[in-house]
Amino acid sequence: MPTAFREWAVTVRALAEGEQLLTVRRANPARGERPLQLPFERFFLYPTFDRQPGDLVRASHQPELRRALEEGVWTDGEPAIQSFITGAPIAQPDRVRIRAWAEVTDAFTVYDRRCVEALSPYSVLTPDYVAKRFGWRSHQPLDVLVLRTHRIPRPVTVRVRDEYLGPAPWIELQRDLPFEGTPVLSDGEFERAAEEIRSIAAQDERAVLV
């Protein structure tokens, strides 16, 4: 069964459109100083609709909120776009569309807030997204994953199961999906951006590159 990574629908949409190149997670404090070890390096992107971060999407990418509705299928009709903008609770869709998969090309752990803010151009989310979503403080490390995203030939609709819900970032999809498709950015475009991200991470003296 293929593995999928759960992320906000607006983020999944941005990754699939080549408008976002990374995702950030609060590092597990129990890991201590040990380097990040990923359980999977290639996975499908599963859009979630727990609460969409309307106030955390940069003004230039607010249209992403409306497009993110296309990642779900609601039998009783789509939720109002206003719910996305305000971040109000949203009813879970009956099905979601899997349209992309990603592979991790770089992973590192950072501590410096300035480094985190410098990475914001590679995300559709605001610079204070991390602080608001994770309650992050500068003494806490953050794991940053640089993703090379591929769009699959045709989006696949999967039924939302109870085991797909909850806070766990990884799920196993109950159907076969091939790792096929086209990268959303050319090799040159992606490598230039990835090199810039590496340079930013290297400015954090405590950063741990994997």
150-173 residue pLDDT tens = 999 999 999 999 998 888 889 999
* Domains of the chain by start residue, with CATH: 3-163+174-209 (2.30.130.30)
**Burial grade of 144 (CB within 10 A; 0-12, 13-18, 19 or more):** buried
Helix (H, G, I), strand (E, B) or coil at 148: strand
Average pLDDT for 46-57 = 79
Q: Evaluate whether 152 touches 101 at the Cβ level (below 8 Å).
A: yes
The per-residue b/e assignment along 55-81, b for 16 or more CB within 10 angstroms, e otherwise, is: ebbeeebeebbeebbebbbeeeeebee
Residue 34's pLDDT band (boundaries 50, 70, 90)? low
Contact 124, 11 (CB under 8 A): yes
Q: Identify which has the larger pLDDT, 12 or 91.
A: 12
